[in-house]
Structure 1
Amino acid sequence: MTNRSDQTLIDEENATDEGAQGLAAADLAGQVMRLLQQALDASEMDQKALADKLGVTQGRVSQVINGDGNMKIAAVGRYLRALGYETHLVASPLISGLPALPLESRHPPATSSQSTVTEQRYVARLPKRRRVEAKNA
């Protein structure tokens, strides 16, 4: 049996769903902050240049890079793209039997050996309506 005094605060938080979810959110926010800082460093761009490229203030960029600003997922993509990066999101299972995400596509990419689908134009032929019918409709 585990003595409660031997548990760390993180262990105590992980013991509840709410605590574990809060830790997961904080961990992801930290990962994003580090990723943005690394991308900024690698790009050799300063915060002012990034702000100009994004159309935001240098103060907003500073908030985001330092983890002080709440940021939407789409904004993370915009920041990283402005710094010359694209993003890929993966999720690793914590519970046995769950697959890693994203799943591989079930459909293999089309190759030249597969049959080619051609598009043909279809024109619907409707009977002409007399003017009297059209006005009453």
Structure 2
Amino acid sequence: MLLDVAHNPAGIAALHRTLLEHGYGSTRWNVVFGAMADKDVATMLRFLHPLTRRLFACAPQTERALAVELLTEHARQEGFAHIVQASSVAEAVRQAWQLGEALLIVGSFYLLGEALPVVEELCRGSGQ
């Protein structure tokens, strides 16, 4: 599992580059992703696409967040085949966690702020 507060194209590009440099280029992640409406989401998704097995689209609880439906539309336009729409960040994290595969949670400080307590709860429950 990897959590990253990358929240713009430069941050996502750096994350992508770092994963490649550290041998995770062939890993396909279940990605929990949400972003603010004023960000260049299409470019962010372009960097995430080659790393993604499934995209768990969600919106942090802030007025600035991009709606899940719009995020899903962007993801489809960028070629994502497996998109799960979640009603909350917590739901997205729980659904992705249950798969037991590589998990990447990324997109904004707001998203990570909501995801971290859920991750801690899930880790305690699994003994990790």
TM-score by length of structure 1 reads: 0.23
Higher RCO structure, 1 or 2 (CA under 8 Å, sep 6+): 2
Bigger-Rg structure (1/2): 1
TM-score by length of structure 2 reads: 0.24
